[in-house]
């Protein structure tokens, strides 16, 4: 029975020690938390960071709206470049700016597992990059302006489209004579597109898509398919000759070659030694 108080004494000490440790810890965390919640909820004094957040939200919303609006046919690069620049600016500011309660980056980012800002920004830049939009523009002093190449392409495109429209004879029906009349602008457009493609690693999606659409239009709507004679005599005779050669080769090999025979080694075994040696000895 005398043990009990002793034990409780040590336990008590331990608990006290633990408690004090915990308190130290939690006060530190609490301060942090207070600072953040103050800056978020009591935005009386200075609200630069929250303002920035709002700007970022608005600009990304406009970009997303624009991107989806110009999804078909794709004009994302050309139409949404302003919004993209705004989003980038807002994001950069969030990263760099600081107000009284500290850096905006620390107040807004990496605080929760949702990380809305980052994933939103990643979505936007991802879209921009996968459309290879930067190839549409010239980058002068960090402002994107439509490159000469792109505008020239668009001019050509408009000329071609204008030509097509001249021959529209009904709802989505076109006169076949467009094929000959519009061949020059169409071919120019094609040539210019091919030259862009060969000079760059990647082509801006706006251009690729408009080219593809124009080509499909030429093909499906105008039915300007060239007639191909499916019988090319030279090709046919060449391929038949070449395809027949192996048959002659193998037949020739079969009838004019002698098969090599290989000699077998005489294996010397104990059992082999028995029979001949007994017969030889006796």
Partner 1 sequence: MVSLQSRIDSQSEGLVDNEEETITTDPACLFKNDSLDSCGSSSSSCRRRAASIEWPPRKQPRTIETVEVGCLNVISGKYESLDYDIPDSDLLLDEERNSGPKYETKKNISRWVVFSLIGILTAGIGIILDVTIDQLSEIKYGTLKHYVDRCVEDNCLYIPYLMWVAFNVGFVLISSILVTYVEPVASGSGIPQVKCYLNGVKIPRVVRIKTLLVKVVGVIGSVVGGLAVGKEGPMIHSGAVVAAGISQGKSTSFGKDFNILNFFREDHEKRDFVSGGAAAGVAAAFGAPVGGVLFSLEEGTSFWNQSLTWRVFLSAMITTFTLHGILSMYYGYQGKLWYSGLLSFGKFPEVQYYWYELIIYMIMGLVGGLSGSLFNHVNYQLTIFRMRYINNKLWMKVIEAALVAAVTATVGFAMIFYINDCRPLGQDPTKFPIQVFCGDGQYNALGALWFQTPETSVRALFQDPPGSHKVISLSLFFILYYLLSIWTYGLSLSAGLFIPSLLTGAAWGRLTGMGLMWLFPDQAWVDVRKYALVGAAAQLGGVVRMTISLTVILIEATGNISFGLPLMLTLICAKWMGDFFNEGIYDIHIMLSGVPLLPWEPPPLSHDVYASEIMSHPVVVLRSVERVARIVQILSAETHNGFPVVDPGYEYQGDKVACGKLRGLILRHQLIVLLQNKIFNEVTDLWDSRNHEVALKLFRDEYPRYKHIQDISLSSKEMKCTIDLRPFMNSSPYTVIHSMTLPRVFRMFRAMGLRHLPVIDDSNQVVGMVTRKDLVRYRVNHHKGNIREELKISEKF
Contacting positions for partner 1 (CB under 8 A): 190, 208, 211-216, 218-220, 224-226, 228-229, 232, 234-235, 238-239, 242-243, 245-246, 249-250, 253-254, 257-278, 281
Calpha distance 112→40 (Å, rounded): 14
Least Cβ distance, residue 174 to partner 1 (angstroms)? 15
Residue placing its CB nearer to partner 1 in the complex, 130 or 148: 130
Report how far apart, in Å, the C-alpha atoms of 244 and of each of 237, 239, 241, 247, 257 are.
Answer: 11, 8, 5, 6, 20
Toward partner 1, which CB reaches closer, 9 or 238? 238
- Cβ at position 70, least distance to partner 1 in Å: 17
Closer to partner 1 by Cβ: residue 12 or 71: 71
CB atoms under 10 Å from CB of 134, counted, come to: 16
- Min dist CB 83 to partner 1, Å, is 24
Q: Cα separations (Å) of 278 from 161, 266, 270, 275?
A: 105, 19, 12, 5
Nearer to partner 1, 173 or 234 (CB): 234
203 and 171 in contact (C-beta within 8 Å)? no
Q: Helical H runs in 97-232?
A: 104-108, 116-130, 148-166, 178-181, 183-199, 205-216
Considering the complex, what minimum distance in angstroms separates the CB of residue 89 from partner 1? 28
At its nearest, how many Å lie between partner 1 and the CB of residue 227? 10
Q: How far is the CB of 41 from partner 1 (least distance, A)?
A: 40
CB 45 within 8 A of CB 100: yes
Tally of CB atoms within 10 A around 90: 21
- Please give the Cα distance from 244 to 232 (Å, whole number): 18
Angstrom distance (rounded) from CA 38 to CA 55: 20
Distance CA 11, CA 2 (A): 15
* Closest separation in Å from C-beta 163 to partner 1: 15
> Residue 93 or residue 197: which is nearer to partner 1 going by CB?
197
Cα 161 to its chain centre, rounded Å, is 30
> In sequence order, which residues have a C-beta less than 8 Å from that of residue 213 and are 6 or more positions away?
73
Comparing CB distances to partner 1, the nearer of 116 and 240 is 240
CB closer to partner 1 out of 5 and 246: 246
């Amino acid at each position: 029975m005398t043990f009990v108080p002793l034990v409780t004494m040590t336990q008590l000490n331990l608990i006290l020690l633990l408690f004090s440790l915990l308190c130290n810890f939690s006060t530190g965390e609490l301060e942090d938390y207070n600072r953040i919640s103050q800056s978020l909820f009591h935005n009386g004094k200075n609200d630069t960071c929250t303002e920035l957040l709002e700007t970022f939200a608005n600009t990304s919303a406009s970009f997303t709206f624009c991107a989806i609006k110009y999804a078909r046919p794709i004009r994302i690069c050309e139409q949404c470049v302003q919004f993209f620049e705004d989003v980038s600016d807002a994001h950069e500011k969030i990263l760099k700016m600081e107000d009284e309660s500290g850096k905006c980056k620390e107040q807004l980012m990496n605080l929760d597992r949702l990380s809305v800002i980052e994933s939103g920004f990643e979505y936007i830049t991802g879209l921009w990059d996968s459309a290879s939009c930067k190839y549409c523009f010239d980058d002068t002093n960090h402002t994107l302006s439509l490159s000469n190449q792109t505008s020239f392409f668009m001019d050509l495109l408009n000329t071609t489209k204008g030509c097509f429209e001249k021959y529209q004879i009904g709802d989505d029906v076109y006169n076949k004579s467009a094929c000959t009349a519009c061949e020059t602008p169409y071919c120019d457009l094609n040539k210019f597109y091919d030259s862009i493609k060969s000079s760059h690693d990647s082509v801006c999606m706006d251009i690729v898509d408009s080219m593809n659409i124009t080509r499909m239009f030429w093909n499906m709507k105008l039915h300007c398919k060239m007639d191909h004679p499916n019988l090319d005599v030279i090709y046919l005779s060449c391929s038949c000759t070449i395809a027949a050669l192996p048959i002659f080769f193998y037949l020739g090999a079969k009838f004019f070659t002698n098969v090599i025979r290989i000699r077998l080694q005489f294996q010397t075994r104990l059992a082999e030694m028995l029979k001949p040696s007994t017969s030889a000895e006796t």
